[in-house]
Structure 1
Amino acid sequence: MMEFVDIAGLVEGASKGEGMGNQFLAHIRNASVVLHVLRCFDDEDVVHIKGGVDPLRDREIVDTELLLADMESVQRRLEKMKKKRHAEKEKEYRCMEEILTHLEKGEALRSFSFPEDLVWMQRDFFSAKPVLYICNVSENMTDYERAHVQDLKKQLGDTERVLELAGKLEADIAALNDAEERSLFLKEMRIQEPGLNKLIREAYGLLGLGTFFTAGVNETRAWSFTQGSWALDAADLIHSDFKKGFICADVYHYEDLMEHPSEKELKAAGKIRREGKEYLVRDGDIIFFRWNL
């Protein structure tokens, strides 16, 4: 299960405890991915704490505070390691020095190459966490908003992920509890799917997760898996007996099902494949496991 946590806003000086800084940083520390919502819409009825809309400034404030918090953490750890220098910790110490140099250049640790045997250190740093920047735009995005989004994408380059989302519209969609009513609303607004679906997919991607499906007579179920998993790993997610008695897996993709909406048609089109235990599971696969104990 993926849990979203709404964290209080961050102000300059949070790394030193200003505002709700310490509480904010504690929440961030427990997160696997940071979703940073940036206001790009202009509405005089919605006051901005800084007095005007500037997503580049807002991004820099948060990213800088996370960077400063990491620098302070590294400096403290280096001081402690200097007092008790051990040969077995020398590589870790050198890595810490390189991390500090990287941070002092204003670079987030997402772009730092951790040694393979020290990759566990990533979890200790705020700026090493993957980030999805969410541009909060209006229902009908204006040229003003579009310019803000383009400026942000230009500044971030190809190394960071950016998603445009109309927050107010998404709130209206989420408030519709009736599935038929929601579907009608989306059709009227000419929206193929809620933006929340796109957000979940992006978050899944940053977490390195995917989804495969199992389908039976009485139940169809979605399973989250780590990208790069074999069919044997996927079988184990369902039940350890599936892994122990694994024979093979019949696999087809949901896109094939959209084109050939029955098992008979899928077979006729040659879309159902028989795969072994080392088959790399794809996001969107539909799998029938054959096993015996």
Structure 2
Amino acid sequence: MPTVPDTPTPEAEPSLMPLERQYELATYAELLDRPSSPEAIALCDELLTDLLRDRQPRPPRNKQREAFGGLIADLLHRDPMPDGGWVYRAVRPNGFTGEAVGYDVFRFIAEAMVDGSLVWFHRGSQRVTKSEFTGGTWQVTGQRASRFRASDSLRLRFAERGISHTNWADHFSRDAEAAELVERKRKVHLILRGPKPPKRARAERRSSLPVDLKDPEVEKLNNRLVRLNDYLRGQTIEPFGPRVQLQRIFANDELRDDHGWKQGGRFYATGSPNYQTENKGVRKTITINGLPSVELDI
């Protein structure tokens, strides 16, 4: 969010914890909850209308209401004590693909909230390194998503209506459709490749074959991947994260019905760029939950 300057942090911090440590303890802003009580809905509408009055001639659109309500819900869910109450979200287009709240509308709303002093903002950062490990070239060796935190004035506005993190569940609830979109996005796919195309064919890669998710073997393999990816979602892996997800690609070169899922089966990271597409020098910089990692070939 380059157009938004860092918001000066007030002298009186709700948390005595050092800011850098507060940033590390930030939780992910899912943007999946919405105001649901009459009090929360009314106040969110009131705040958003005031916020956008000088930014656009028309009333707030539904997508803007979803983005605003989603971020408000995530911010108020966090207790400012004892770790500051920050949430994080990488503000880049591919971080919003396939979700209910899109990149453009989130950025627009987040910038308005920062300018309107509803949110304290700490810009995300990217570290580049040039060394023998990067082949003598400048390469990205670390990233941190932007941090957001409800300002004291925002918490006070909601507290005046009887809304705080202590009774959050009485005023906000999960948007089932938005959650389904994210779940569909996270859904693990077993990919089955067919034979290599003939040399005379224009196609350069094998086509994907249909996969029967009701097949017992497919279900077993898929459930293993679900458990693995559920575990990985709980880890912060940088600079290719904060979340890394995997898929498995098998081969059925002879198009046999009894291929048995025995050929291939390698794990591949989803999305691009990812750790598998980078050179060895960059992979040496990977950290898991802030700790250095070691690459092993098994």
TM-score bin (small chain)? under 0.3
Identify which of structures 1 and 2 has the higher relative contact order when contacts are C-alpha pairs closer than 8 Å and 6+ apart. Answer: 2
Q: Identify, as 1 or 2, the structure richer in helix.
A: 1
TM-score under structure 1 normalisation? 0.27
